[in-house]
Amino acid sequence: MVKRSFWLMLWVLCATLPALAGEPFRFLHITDTHIGITAHHSETREYVQTFNALSPSPAFIVNTGDCTELGSTEEYRRYREIMGDLRMPLINVPGNHDVRWSAIGKEGFAKWLGPLRMHWEREGCHFFALDSTALLEHHGHFEEADLRWLESRLRRLPRGAPVFLFFHHWVASGTQMVDNEQRLLDIIDRYNVKAVFVGHGHKDTVWWRNGVMFLMARGLYQGSYHQVDVDDNSIRIWRVVKGEAQPTLLADLPRAPQPAPQLRIRRLKVQGDNLLAVVQWRSPDSSLPERWEVRVGGGAWQPVEAKTERTDFHLQTSLQDPIPGEHRVVIRALVKDRGYEASAVVTIQGAVRPVWTFRTGGSVKAQPVVYGDTVYVSSFDGNLYALNAATGRLRWKAPIGGTLVAAPAVTEDVVVVGSTSGVLVCLRRADGRPLWRAQLPPPIFASAGMNGEVVCTAGGDGKIVGFSLRDGRRLWDFQTGMFVQSRIVAVRDMFIAGCWDNHVYALDARSGTLRWKQRFGRSFYYAPAIASPATDGVRVVVPSNDGVLHAMRVGTGEVTWETASAQGNSFGYPSPLISDGVVFCAALGGRGLVYAIDLRTGQPVWVAETGRAIYDTGCALAGGYLFTGSVEGVVYWIQETSGRIVHRYRLGEGHLFCIPDTDGKRFFIGSLNGMVYAFRVEGAS
């Protein structure tokens, strides 16, 4: 076990990395160690010894995420024990595996492996470690607070100082993994950023954007890492691969800023189904682009012809399947296989558009909950917002603290919500005034359920806990084998919850005693834990992540039917909805399937194909239409009886993991971009 004093010394070293002016130094980039309870120990231990034997010794090492497999206390303890033998400082960056299945969340990462973001300096070079993870998700996102922090730090740097960035998810390459990558790229564009190091993709690859080098390495246990040697004049970046006799020199970069071509969009508009652009190209050596490409809305790159007019280039391309809403257009000029890009947002008009929008101070992942004429919204900025359902105007805002991943539970008198800080807060619905607070081991991911005078949620220790709604007094607890992240559903005199220990639990609402449990999913990864259960009071339906939808009797837990989704499209992520004897449920997969299933038989009534991946969202139903959304932020109006897709709309940039809610006239949905959107239900008065 690593002694606490070692880790204190480590962070002090990272914050005050010493060196004499002009002294050369070396650092290493590793990634995706995936230390599990039993996995990848020997490979990592061997590399620790290899790094200790290097001459000159590295000044520091940065691990760009997926340090562990599941982010558990046991895995963090094992990781620290293995890495504790290093003779140089280690900076750790969170990856999706560290926070996606972790009962202790980002708080756990910070406790065991250090800050979620860092800035340090050595020999005039500046290094930034950033958090690109979204809680409980595979995809990437930079919180706005972190981007503002980065921007502020960069502004204070000496002019021309070399800058290096480290985070987990890739940006500026291939399929868009980080929804707000453009915000980051815009921030760093005016600085002397030499290299950006990432992981996640488990490949040895290099790409360039606007003169900046981007590098990904395989997982350390797969046998590769980067070595960077810095001196007064140059920065040499090497790829070191196990089994190869010599490292491969990937780049020899000058420390000083270098002039690079500049691409600027002068005009951009949509005309019919065509996109028209005028761009300006300036190059320090008068070179011209060899080819042009355009990407719309995070889609694939499309080649495009350009007509020259002095320093301007005129481009035109047809829009494939134009969807109303906001689209980021990225134009790329390629010169000697290096890409230079510029982007702007265009809005395509259509039959539908938001009635109103509201910006919170952080990401919105939890379902906005409508009660009466008010919409209650949890935000990652730690605040609960109460908005006028008709206008979107703020009624009140209550600071809860931590990160609000859980949706609120609402009654006529109160609103209850839990935070990743472990606090459960009961507020007066009229004005948001706190009535009581209770504390659980952090974090609280589960959206609370209410049954009579009992409110139920779960903490990071795997206990489902019942509290008195009146005064917050703890009434009972029930120990599960893992943790609960989805909504806890009240039905009859019970609470029902899916858990990462592969069980669905039905607990007595008054006493917390077990009524029944069922086990689903062939392993931890396929547990019935992401999607929330749905019930009509007689049956309860829960998907497991192996692509199976399970229907049970509420009173006994007896399974009445099980239905598998189509191959390559898995039930288990989106939450089901039950209405008038039909289960509506989407499936994870590239086809973006949405099912209507007969609740009595488990047979499909219809299947709609959106064509876009759907993750941790769900459905709302009103006015004869089903509403849902894809991870890239396209929302759909689907006819309840036929499955025909009637309308689509693309929200502003931001991954969508949010279940919509409706008041019958409007439906409401949130995005990781921090926005809440209200749309009119077609046909509503």
CA pair distance 655, 325, nearest whole angstrom: 15
pLDDT score recorded for residue 683: 56
H helices of 176-221, in order, are 181-188
Question: What are the counts of helices (DSSP H) followed by strands (DSSP E) for the chain?
Answer: 7, 52
CA pair distance 227, 225, nearest whole angstrom: 7
Q: What residues contact residue 508 under an 8 Å CB cut-off, 6+ apart?
A: 493, 494, 514, 515
For residue 609, give both structure tokens.
Answer: 């194909």
Statement to judge: residues 221 and 122 lie in one domain:
yes
Residue 599 lies inside a defined structural domain of this protein: no
Statement to judge: residues 226 and 146 lie in one domain:
yes
CATH of the domain at 304: 2.60.40.2440
Statement to judge: residues 186 and 306 lie in one domain:
no
Residues paired with 542 in a beta bridge: 550
Residue 359 lies inside a defined structural domain of this protein: no
**pLDDT over 90 at 10, yes or no:** no
**pLDDT over 70 at 17, yes or no:** no
Residue 250 lies inside a defined structural domain of this protein: yes
Statement to judge: residues 103 and 240 lie in one domain:
yes
Residues paired with 239 in a beta bridge: 226, 248
Phi, psi at 205, each rounded to 5°: -150, 155
Residue 415 lies inside a defined structural domain of this protein: no
Statement to judge: residues 312 and 219 lie in one domain:
no
For residue 413, give both structure tokens.
Answer: 């008198």
Q: In what order do the strands lie in the sheet with 534-535?
A: 534-535, 539-544, 548-553, 559-564
The rounded radius of gyration (Å) of the Cα atoms in the chain is: 26
pLDDT tens-digit readout, 276-314: 999 999 999 888 999 999 999 878 889 999 998 877 999
- Choosing from 202, 232, 254, the residue where a domain stops is 254
For residue 420, give both structure tokens.
Answer: 């990743």
Q: Are 41 and 68 in contact (CB under 8 A)?
A: no
Handedness of CA 185, 188, 191, 197 (dihedral sign): negative
The share of the chain scoring above pLDDT 70, in percent, equals 96
Reduce the DSSP state of residue 229 to 3 states and report it. Answer: strand
Residue 586 lies inside a defined structural domain of this protein: no
Residue 111 lies inside a defined structural domain of this protein: yes
Q: How many residues does the chain have?
A: 685
**pLDDT over 80 at 174, yes or no:** no
Residue-averaged pLDDT of the chain: 94
Statement to judge: residues 239 and 286 lie in one domain:
no
Statement to judge: residues 250 and 121 lie in one domain:
yes
CATH of the domain at 186: 3.60.21.10
- Choosing from 209, 232, 254, the residue where a domain stops is 254
Residue 45 lies inside a defined structural domain of this protein: yes
Q: Are 487 and 407 in contact (CB under 8 A)?
A: yes
**pLDDT over 70 at 136, yes or no:** yes
Residues paired with 206 in a beta bridge: 215
**pLDDT over 70 at 8, yes or no:** no
Statement to judge: residues 103 and 243 lie in one domain:
yes
CA pair distance 412, 429, nearest whole angstrom: 7
CA pair distance 138, 318, nearest whole angstrom: 32
pLDDT tens-digit readout, 520-578: 998 999 999 999 999 999 999 999 999 999 999 999 999 999 999 988 889 999 999 99
Phi, psi at 48, each rounded to 5°: -55, -45
pLDDT score recorded for residue 15: 42
Chain centroid to CA 460: 20
Residues paired with 614 in a beta bridge: none
pLDDT score recorded for residue 95: 98
H or E, element range at 582: strand 582-586
Q: Would you give the DSSP letter of residue 526?
A: G
Statement to judge: residues 160 and 301 lie in one domain:
no
The share of the chain scoring above pLDDT 90, in percent, equals 91
Residue range(s) defining the domain that contains residue 329: 262-348
Q: What residues contact residue 635 under an 8 Å CB cut-off, 6+ apart?
A: 627, 628, 629, 648, 649, 651, 656, 660, 669, 677, 679
Reduce the DSSP state of residue 621 to 3 states and report it. Answer: strand
Quick check: bond before 399 cis, omega within 30?
no
Q: Are 154 and 168 in contact (CB under 8 A)?
A: no
CA pair distance 46, 380, nearest whole angstrom: 40
pLDDT tens-digit readout, 591-641: 999 999 999 999 999 999 999 999 999 999 999 999 999 999 999 999 999
Residue 388 lies inside a defined structural domain of this protein: no
**pLDDT over 60 at 152, yes or no:** yes
Reduce the DSSP state of residue 462 to 3 states and report it. Answer: coil
CA pair distance 666, 360, nearest whole angstrom: 19
- Choosing from 231, 254, 277, the residue where a domain stops is 254
Our count of domains for the chain comes to 2
pLDDT score recorded for residue 21: 42
Statement to judge: residues 271 and 132 lie in one domain:
no
Q: Are 452 and 435 in contact (CB under 8 A)?
A: no
Place of tokens 């969202």: 617
Reduce the DSSP state of residue 42 to 3 states and report it. Answer: helix
**pLDDT over 70 at 317, yes or no:** yes
Statement to judge: residues 64 and 134 lie in one domain:
yes
Statement to judge: residues 198 and 269 lie in one domain:
no
pLDDT tens-digit readout, 231-243: 999 999 999 999 9
pLDDT score recorded for residue 320: 79
Q: Are 668 and 678 in contact (CB under 8 A)?
A: yes
CA distances from 185 to 61, 175, 179, 211, 461 (A): 24, 16, 12, 12, 39
Reduce the DSSP state of residue 2 to 3 states and report it. Answer: coil
